[in-house]
A = this chain, B = another copy of it.
Amino acid sequence: MANATSIRRFILGLLARQPMSGYDIKRFLKSMSWLIDSPSFGSLYPALHSLLEGDLVTVEVIPRQDKPSRKIYSITETGKRALREWMEQPIASGASLKAFLMRLILASNLSHAGLLVHLRQRRAEVAIHHRTLQEVAGAMDAGTDLGERLAFDYVLTMATVELDWLDRVLDQLSQSRSSVEAT
């Protein structure tokens, strides 16, 4: 997959909001555990080191006596460019729900236009999925396994609701932007 949202990228996106230490990031992610389960330190710190190597972030070391130094990471211009480039290219089709939500959070921070693009793209994908499901529905007969029928009904229900949600949100966001521009 050319384009999954790895924690490396997500961390870069978070650092675009404000400089943070590894522990800060962990705490922030933990506070949003209702959304995405936060990565472990075993992936968090190496991810920061790798961003540092690529010059996508810089670090300011704040030494403290008898304790490990705090290390505050900030995004660089190179990092901002990389982030923008990544956000501009469409998310891989079939990407996970988690990837969609992660990107939703990052997108709102970059530009209103980018946010709309992201939501519209999601809408297009869910619509395709929805159509696929309806084709599958035709191929299902009474002999189909109960579990499969249930799973199918579940997925179809969720896809339908998600389409409604996306339409509603897109409507609201388009209107609010128009009114802002009219001001």
Q: Which residues of A contact B (CB under 8 A)?
A: 32, 34-35, 37, 94, 97, 101, 104-109, 115, 129, 132-133, 136, 145-148, 150-155, 157-158, 161-162, 165, 169
User: Can you tell how many copies of this chain the complex includes?
Assistant: 2
Known: A157-B161, A158-B162. A150 touches B108 (CB 8 A): yes
CA distance A169 to B136 in the complex (A): 20
Q: List 7 A-B contacts (CB under 8 A).
A: A101-B154, A104-B150, A105-B147, A105-B151, A108-B145, A109-B147, A158-B161
Contact B165 A157 (CB under 8 A): yes
Question: Which residues of B sit under 8 angstroms from A151, Cβ to Cβ?
Answer: 35, 101, 104-105
